[in-house]
Amino acid sequence: MPLGLGNRVDARGRAHCSADAFLDRRIEFLDHATQRMEPAVHSEVVVRATDSRGDSVLAAAARELGLRATDQPEAPALLLVHDAEGFGLRPLRPARAGTVRVEFGGARSRGRLSGSLRSQPLARAVGIGAAPPHVLDATGGLGRDAWLLATLGCRVTLVERHRILAFLLRAALARAAASPATAACAARIELLEGDAREALRGCMDAGRPDVVYLDPMFGGSRRTALARLDLQVVQQLLGEEPDDPKLLQAARAAARRRVVVKRLRTAPPLAPGRSHAVAGQAIRFDVYRPDGAAGG
């Protein structure tokens, strides 16, 4: 079944489907996620029993995600928290490590967006012209790159298959849509929960993206380009994810103009055949032409 019919979510967090279809898709998705994650899960996400009784939003999220409520969580569990800044994940160790959030327009994302946006390596790799491209970000994560692309004016289809990360993205998108300062940018992002390979196959019929963007977990080494605490949390959630050459193949089949792959600067390319690369300080963006195209 093509992804995006049962679980398409707009910037206000509304699912465009019937309740039954949505439930079917969720069950299908959870089955898929469980199978995929069995060997890789390193920590569970829990909520504090006391918080989950006091905060009805957190309690509803815990029910939706099937999280355990406990007052004695043990590392390496991650706590799902909810406060004035929205949802976040907090590692239990080290103590006071901080909280990782999807920040669409928050202080951290503002810091990142300072300077000339269009000269950022990601912007140059994607190719922001007079008409910013439609980008399918196949590896959503914490949405840092997607928000940058939307700020640059790109329409972004954001795909994430991990249900906790997809939940954080959905909640942050709804918050951003509700704030006048970020609503216009949020409206350019559409979130799909599920496997990007299905999303890429699905868009062959309905609206191929100009650019497909991939930021796989490991850029050819045990490090990624995520910031330190972000990396710790994402790694705890996902475990080790080997590079998936099939994702690049699906991306090259679907993109109209180009495929951009983020790597650590010193890592080997994900696959041979890139047309060029744009290097930043620690990271590099490899650009591939789509199948059968003259490029762009």
Ligand X SMILES: C[S@@+](CC[C@H](N)C(=O)[O-])C[C@H]1O[C@@H](n2cnc3c(N)ncnc32)[C@H](O)[C@@H]1O
Query: Is 160 a residue that touches ligand X (CB under 6 A)?
Result: yes
Ordered DSSP codes for 91-127: ESSSTT---B---SSSHHHHHHT-S-GGGSHHHHHHT
| Residue placing its CB nearer to ligand X in the complex, 52 or 224 | 224
Query: Is 8 a residue that touches ligand X (CB under 6 A)?
Result: no
Segment lying near ligand X (by CB under 6 A), choices 57-65, 136-144, 170-178, 182-190: 136-144
3-class DSSP state of 155: strand
List the one residue out of 162, 170, 167, 221 whose CA is nearest residue 43. 162
With CB under 6 A as the rule, give the number of residues binding ligand X: 23
| Nearest-approach distance from CB 161 to ligand X, in angstroms | 4
Looking at residue 138, the DSSP 8-state letter turns out to be: S
Residues 235-254 that bind ligand X (CB under 6 A): 238, 247
| Residue placing its CB nearer to ligand X in the complex, 59 or 269 | 269
- Alpha-carbon distances of 251 from 32, 286, 291, rounded to whole Å: 21, 13, 9
CB-based contact 89:232 (threshold 8 Å): no
Segment lying near ligand X (by CB under 6 A), choices 36-44, 117-125, 135-143, 266-274: 135-143
Query: Is 142 a residue that touches ligand X (CB under 6 A)?
Result: yes
| Nearest-approach distance from CB 143 to ligand X, in angstroms | 5
| Nearest-approach distance from CB 168 to ligand X, in angstroms | 10
Segment lying near ligand X (by CB under 6 A), choices 157-165, 182-190, 252-260, 277-285: 157-165
Query: Is 196 a residue that touches ligand X (CB under 6 A)?
Result: yes
Segment lying near ligand X (by CB under 6 A), choices 19-27, 62-70, 117-125, 190-198: 190-198
CB-based contact 255:290 (threshold 8 Å): yes
3-class DSSP state of 78: strand
CB-based contact 265:284 (threshold 8 Å): yes
What is the x/- site pattern for ligand X, positions 213-232, by CB under 6 A? --x-x------x-x------
Nearest-10 crossing angle of helices 56-65, 163-178: 140
- Label residue 207 exposed, middle or buried (CB < 10 Å: 0-12, 13-18, 19+): exposed
CB-based contact 46:224 (threshold 8 Å): no
3-class DSSP state of 293: coil
Member of 51, 103, 145, 286 binding ligand X (CB under 6 A): 145
| Residue placing its CB nearer to ligand X in the complex, 51 or 145 | 145
Query: Is 162 a residue that touches ligand X (CB under 6 A)?
Result: yes
| Nearest-approach distance from CB 89 to ligand X, in angstroms | 12
Query: Is 165 a residue that touches ligand X (CB under 6 A)?
Result: yes
CB-based contact 285:277 (threshold 8 Å): yes
Looking at residue 275, the DSSP 8-state letter turns out to be: S
Query: Is 141 a residue that touches ligand X (CB under 6 A)?
Result: yes
Segment lying near ligand X (by CB under 6 A), choices 18-26, 155-163, 169-177, 270-278: 155-163
Chain residues binding ligand X by CB under 6 A are 138-145, 159-162, 165, 195-197, 215, 217, 224, 226, 234, 238, 247
